[in-house]
């Protein structure tokens, strides 16, 4: 909203300083500061309200260190994160941008599913919360929307450089010119495809249509049959991974902030023609606007960490964790970095895998030996280390360190091929 206001004041009244709002970097910095203020200052008031209404967490008896101290801690604190993301984005981002619209839909959609789950647990006194079937339906529904929009929307495209001799073979409306620092003119053509970044490979790109075209050349136009299910799977997996990671104070919040910082770098570089050309990565017009959303995302996570760090004064609940994972998945797909998610979200991945391994092995051994056996003392993985006697703060700190290393490696893949 402020973007349009100051743009109007700049163009009609030549207001001094209004031009700042045309810069993504300025709006991103402002969004981060605003989200920090909202989550740190107003977060305390929301926590006080949750305490007055006795909206506290019911802790299961798992025999974990310090679990009794957590009983009654306010939950549904994800509302703080959602507010700290949505308000700066609505104020500072361009609301006609397809990527911003998708980000807002994702935040509200999964936030609502998580809120319903927390509401049932807290107010209906049902520890199981929202049935898993409904959660999956909601995640699949969001994945369907995101997949359809990113595949069919005319405003979602990339631009590739072509030789000057080939310009005449393209429609003039698809061609744009960019002059570099040396004065050399580069010709870019608009491309509508679903190419994504392929890490560690020299060509650095993979087109989903290649899967079907390998069977029959005419089938390439049906690549949406591959792309949309992949989007659904990624959003479901990553949102559930974030949900599983939210088990000890500050773990999911800090990890999400680290991943969000990595995505911010990708969004800014991919949306800037100069950096995209220098790094030889895909130039995705309009994706730079996601920098504002991601700045608010990071600020919201860091601000919430003020209250959520050990010993936590509030838990985010599913209201926050499902939304955080879904946002990360959606923006990774939008910036065409979804194939980097296993590396970038390595913490979420190992938490997911540890649960699947534990459950599968337990069922297998129960069927074979008559009694279920376990790989880990407890899953997800962070609870295994709690059972070993590690303090929560040590587990969180070490997981963050691993997350930072994975984030750095993810960024380095821009040049390692």
In the chain, how many domains are there? 1
- Write down the residue that tokens 């870019």 correspond to: 188
Burial of 128: CB neighbours in 10 Å, binned 0-12, 13-18, 19+ = exposed
CA dihedral over 372, 374, 380, 386, signed as positive or negative:
positive
Residues 362 and 358: their CA atoms lie apart, in Å, by: 6
Report yes or no on 82 lying in a domain: yes
Cα–Cα nearest to 263, from 354, 214, 333: 333
Residues 320 and 129: their CA atoms lie apart, in Å, by: 15
Report yes or no on 176 lying in a domain: no
Helices 317-334 & 290-308 angle (0-180, nearest 10): 150
The percentage of residues in the chain with a pLDDT greater than 90, rounded to a whole number, is 58
Residues 290 and 265: their CA atoms lie apart, in Å, by: 10
pLDDT of residue 12: 76
Residues 386 and 393: their CA atoms lie apart, in Å, by: 10
pLDDT of residue 247: 84
Report yes or no on 1 lying in a domain: no
Mean pLDDT in the chain? Answer: 89
Could you report the per-residue pLDDT of 357-380, keeping only the tens digit for each? 999 999 999 998 888 899 999 989
Query: Once rounded to an integer, what is the mean pLDDT over residues 51-61?
Result: 69
Report yes or no on 398 lying in a domain: yes
- Write down the residue that tokens 């700042």 correspond to: 20
Report yes or no on 180 lying in a domain: no
Report yes or no on 163 lying in a domain: no
Reduce the DSSP state of residue 286 to 3 states and report it: coil
pLDDT of residue 203: 67
Structure tokens at 315: 């838990």
pTM attached to this predicted model: 0.92
CB–CB of 193/207 below 8 Å?
Answer: yes
Determine the length of the chain: 417
pLDDT of residue 185: 78
Could you report the per-residue pLDDT of 292-335, keeping only the tens digit for each? 999 999 999 999 999 999 888 999 999 999 999 999 999 999 99
Q: What is the DSSP letter of 172?
A: G
Report yes or no on 324 lying in a domain: yes
pLDDT of residue 65: 61
Reduce the DSSP state of residue 386 to 3 states and report it: helix
- Write down the residue that tokens 């995302």 correspond to: 297
Query: Once rounded to an integer, what is the mean pLDDT over residues 197-224?
Result: 82
Query: Once rounded to an integer, what is the mean pLDDT over residues 202-210?
Result: 80
Report yes or no on 171 lying in a domain: no
Query: Once rounded to an integer, what is the mean pLDDT over residues 10-30?
Result: 84
Query: Once rounded to an integer, what is the mean pLDDT over residues 49-75?
Result: 71
Cα–Cα nearest to 295, from 6, 19, 27: 27
100: pLDDT strictly greater than 60: yes
pLDDT of residue 173: 74
Q: Largest Cα–Cα distance in the chain?
A: 80
Where helices occur in 309-345 by DSSP H, the ranges are 317-334, 341-344
pLDDT of residue 147: 96
Domain of residue 243 covers: 27-157+192-412
H-run or E-run covering 133: helix 132-152
Whole-angstrom Cα Rg for the chain: 23
Could you report the per-residue pLDDT of 334-358, keeping only the tens digit for each? 999 999 999 999 999 999 999 999 9
Structure tokens at 4: 């349009």
CA distances from 238 to 194, 332, 354, 405 (A): 21, 11, 14, 19
Question: Quick one: three-class SS letters along 42-73?
Answer: HHHHHHHHHHHCCCECCCCCCCCCCHHHHCCC
pLDDT of residue 407: 96
CB–CB of 293/103 below 8 Å?
Answer: yes
């Amino acid at each position: 909203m402020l973007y349009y206001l100051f743009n109007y004041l700049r163009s009609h009244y030549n207001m001094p300083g209004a031009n700042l709002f045309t810069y993504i970097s300025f709006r991103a910095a402002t969004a981060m500061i605003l989200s920090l203020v909202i989550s740190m200052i107003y977060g305390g008031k929301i926590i006080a309200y949750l305490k007055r209404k006795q909206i506290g967490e019911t802790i299961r008896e798992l025999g974990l260190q310090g679990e009794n101290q957590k009983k009654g801690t306010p939950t549904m604190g994800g509302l703080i994160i959602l507010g700290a993301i949505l308000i700066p984005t609505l104020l500072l981002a361009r609301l006609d941008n397809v990527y911003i619209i998708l980000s807002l839909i994702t935040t509200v959609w999964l936030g609502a599913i998580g809120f319903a789950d927390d509401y049932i647990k807290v107010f209906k006194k049902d520890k199981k919360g929202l049935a898993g079937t409904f959660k999956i339906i909601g995640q699949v529904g969001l994945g369907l929307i995101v997949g359809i929009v990113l595949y069919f929307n005319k405003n979602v495209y990339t631009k590739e450089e072509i030789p000057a001799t080939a310009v005449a073979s393209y429609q003039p409306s698809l061609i744009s010119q960019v002059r570099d620092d040396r004065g050399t003119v580069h010709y870019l053509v608009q491309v509508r495809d679903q190419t994504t970044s392929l890490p560690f490979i020299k060509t650095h790109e993979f087109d989903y249509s290649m899967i079907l075209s390998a069977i029959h050349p005419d089938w390439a136009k049906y690549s949406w049959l591959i792309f949309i299910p992949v989007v659904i799977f990624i959003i479901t997996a990553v949102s559930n991974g974030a949900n599983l990671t939210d088990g000890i104070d500050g773990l999911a919040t800090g990890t999400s902030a680290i991943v969000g910082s990595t995505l911010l770098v990708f969004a800014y570089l991919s949306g800037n023609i100069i950096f995209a050309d220098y790094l030889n990565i895909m130039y995705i017009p309009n994706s730079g606007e996601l920098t504002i959303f991601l700045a608010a995302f990071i600020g919201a996570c860091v601000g919430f960490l003020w209250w959520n760090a050990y010993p936590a004064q509030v838990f985010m609940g599913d209201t926050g964790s499902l939304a955080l994972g879904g946002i990360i998945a959606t923006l990774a797909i939008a910036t065409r970095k979804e194939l980097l998610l296993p590396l970038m979200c390595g913490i979420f991945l190992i938490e997911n895998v540890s649960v699947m391994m534990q459950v599968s092995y337990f069922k297998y051994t129960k069927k074979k030996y008559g009694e279920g056996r376990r790989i880990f003392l407890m899953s997800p993985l962070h609870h295994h280390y709690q059972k070993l006697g590690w303090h929560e703060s040590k587990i969180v700190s070490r997981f963050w360190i691993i997350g930072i290393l994975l984030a750095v490696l993810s960024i380095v893949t821009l040049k390692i091929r």
